[in-house]
Amino acid sequence: MKELMAFLLLVLFASSIHAAPGDILRSQTLSGQPSSGVRGLAMDWDTGLIWVAGPNGSSNIIYTTMDPVTMTTGTWLAAAADLGWIFDIGYGFDDGGTKYLLMNDQYSPFTKMIDPLDGSYDGQLPDYYSSGNYTNGCTVDWNTNNVYISSHGNPYVVYYYGVFYYPFTSITGAKNMGTAVGWDHLFILRTSSFYTIEVYEIGGAFIGSIPLAAWPSDNYVLGLSCGREDAVGENETLFFADLLTKQVHEIEVGDYTTPGSLTPSTWGEIKAGFVSTPDGNRSPSSSFLTSLK
């Protein structure tokens, strides 16, 4: 009994000093990653794996999946040569029964539909932002098939609903380099000089801003994906990348799955010492933006 109590106290102490929302839990260079590093990330809610992609030289985009628990990767595949220099990606856009990877490119058309099975370029979404502003963040809401995109130079974050784009929010200063939908929320990653993750309910209500704790001012960030559920206590995680170290980073955010939890929790529980598995990931709910139609 004494040994058990000592163990529980040790775990409780460890959970009391672990990272809080905004802290980086892990940073890693992925095995076999693109020469310019990962630029885009997207959750596959069917498998619990994360699609990652980046430029491996000029007009040479490679992609694969990453296990969010171990951060190990699968076999890297080459996307169509029609892509130039990609940014964030989304996954799960359903067109004719095929779930596509959406890759935001430097060249128009900016959001290209890539078949993950063979890397073929099968179509595109209409352009919204200008070439000078860049089309950066990209994510798919699996329940509505809406695509949320953001821009480095344009403050508007918008969503694509089959034919047209609709405004979701406007963020002063822009620099919105990544988007991710999960757990009934939209997450938006902002780069220099903001270095925050803006959190919204999928219905449009602003929840709060999570600063990237102690992030270097010259370390440009981009790409965003939902990560592990209940990874630190009841808090979820996200994954993003950066241009300086070319690593993929896991960041703790808030508790967005516990009923009645509306704000990020700031400390973990005893279970924070244990690793959750991808099987615990759930698809986002069916809430929909109706007020901005």
3-state secondary structure of 156: strand
pLDDT of residue 72: 98
Q: How far apart are CA 175 and CA 226, in angstroms?
A: 19
Tracing tokens 């000078």 back to the chain, one arrives at 132
Q: For residue 117, how far is the Cα from the chain centroid?
A: 21
Provide the total of helices (H) and of strands (E) in the chain, helices listed first: 1, 20
- What CA–CA distance (Å, rounded) separates 185 from 2? 43
Contacts of 163 (CB under 8 A, 6+ apart): none
Residues 6+ apart with CB under 8 A from 115: 98, 100, 101, 122
CB atoms within 10 A of CB 165: 17
Within 10 angstroms of residue 76's Cβ, the number of other Cβ atoms is: 18
Cα distances (angstroms) measured from residue 253 to each of 23, 99, 115, 231? 8, 27, 31, 10
For residue 18, the model assigns a pLDDT of: 58
Q: How many residues are listed for the chain in this entry? A: 293
| pLDDT tens digits, 18-35 | 569 999 999 999 999 999
Q: Is 284 helix (H, G, I), strand (E, B) or coil?
A: coil
Instruction: Give mean pLDDT, residues 73-98.
Output: 94
Starting at the earlier edge strand, list the strands of the sheet with 24-28.
24-28, 248-252, 237-242, 221-226
pLDDT of amino acid 59: 76
Highest averaged pLDDT of the listed ranges 4-18, 21-35, 49-63, 249-263: 21-35
User: What percentage of the chain has pLDDT greater than the value 70?
Assistant: 82
Quick one: 283 exposed, middle or buried, by C-beta within 10 A (0-12, 13-18, 19+)? middle
Q: What is the domain class of 18-280 according to CATH?
A: mainly beta
pLDDT of residue 2: 46
**pLDDT interval class at 17 (50, 70, 90):** very low
Handedness of CA 87, 93, 95, 97 (dihedral sign): positive
pTM, full prediction: 0.84
DSSP class of residue 235 equals: B
Could you give the CA distance from residue 176 to residue 196 in angstroms, rounded to a whole number? 9
DSSP structure string for 162-183: TTEEEEEEE-TT--EEEEEEET
